[in-house]
Amino acid sequence: MEGSRPCKNCGSRTIESDYDTGSLVCSSCGVVQDFENYQAQLGGISGPTGTYIRVGTAGSGTNYSYKETKIYKAQKLMEDLLFRLEFSPAMSSEVKAMVERITDGEYGQGDWLPIFIGACAYVVMRKNNDTVPITQVAAVVGCDVHELGRMVGRVVEFLGLKLPEFDVVDAYKRAIRTCPSFIDVSRDKVKTMLRQGVFLVQCLVKWFVTTGRRPLPVVVAVIVFVAQLNGIDLQIGDLANELHVAVSTCRLRYKELLERLVEVAQALPWGKDITVKNVMKNAPFVIQYMEMKSMCKGGKERDSLQMVGVDMDVLVDDCLRRDDYTDRHSHYLEAEQSPGWSVEDLEKLKISHECLSAIYSKYVDEVSENKSIVESGVNTRRIRKGGDEFHTSFEWWKGNSDMSKKLFLKQILDKDVGLEAMPPSFVNGRLACQKRRAKIEAAKLRIKTIMNPWDVVLSDGGSLSLSKCVNVGKKRRKMQVDMDWEDFVIEILLLHKVNEEEIEKGYYNTLLDLHVFDSWGM
Q: Is 358 helix (H, G, I), strand (E, B) or coil?
A: helix
End residue of a domain, out of 124, 159, 194: 159
Do 435 and 511 belong together in one domain?
yes
458 with 388, same domain: the answer is no
402 with 301, same domain: the answer is yes
The torsion defined by the Cα of 13, 17, 21 and 25, in degrees rounded to 10, comes to: -10
389 lies in the same domain as 454 = no
In a domain, 330, yes or no: yes
Q: What is the rounded distance in angstroms from the CA atom of residue 16 to the CA atom of residue 392?
A: 108
278, part of any domain: no
Q: Tell me whether residue 179 is in a domain.
A: no
Distances (CA, A) of 400 to 105, 175, 192, 309: 54, 23, 12, 11
Residues 383 and 492 reside in one and the same domain:
no
Could you give the dihedral angle defined by the CA atoms of residues 478, 482, 487 and 491, in that order, rounded to the nearest 10 degrees?
-50
Q: Is residue 23 part of a domain?
A: no
447 lies in the same domain as 396: no
Q: Which of 159, 180, 197 is the last residue of a domain?
A: 159
Residue 442 domain flag: yes
Q: Does 407 lie in the same domain as 296?
A: yes
Same domain? For 79 and 136 the reply is: yes
Distances (CA, A) of 119 to 78, 86, 160: 12, 15, 15
Same domain, 301 and 339: yes
pTM of the model: 0.64
Question: Could you tell me the residue range of the domain that residue 334 belongs to?
Answer: 292-364+378-414
Last residue of a domain, one of 159, 187, 218: 159
Please list the pLDDT of the chain residue by residue as tens digits (522 residues): 555 678 878 888 888 887 777 778 888 888 887 755 555 555 555 555 555 544 444 444 455 678 888 899 999 999 999 999 989 999 999 999 999 999 998 888 889 999 999 999 999 999 988 888 899 999 999 999 999 999 999 999 999 998 888 899 999 999 998 888 888 888 888 999 999 999 999 999 999 999 888 999 999 999 999 999 998 989 999 999 998 899 999 999 999 999 999 999 999 888 899 999 999 999 999 998 998 888 886 544 444 333 333 445 544 455 455 444 444 444 434 444 444 444 454 455 555 555 555 555 555 555 555 544 444 443 433 333 344 433 443 467 777 888 888 888 888 989 988 888 888 888 888 999 999 999 999 999 999 888 887 765 555 554 444 344 444 444 455 445 578 889 999 999 999 999 999 999 888 888 998 888 875 554
144 in any annotated domain: yes
Does residue 323 share a domain with residue 405?
A: yes
Does some domain include residue 389? yes
Among residues 401, 398, 403, 388, which one has the least CA distance to residue 192? 398
Whether residues 445 and 486 fall in one domain: yes
Asked if residue 287 is part of any domain, the answer here is no
CATH number at residue 96: 1.10.472.10
- The contacts of residue 455 (CB under 8 Å, 6+ apart) are 448
| Structural domain total, the chain | 3
Q: Do 436 and 513 belong together in one domain? A: yes
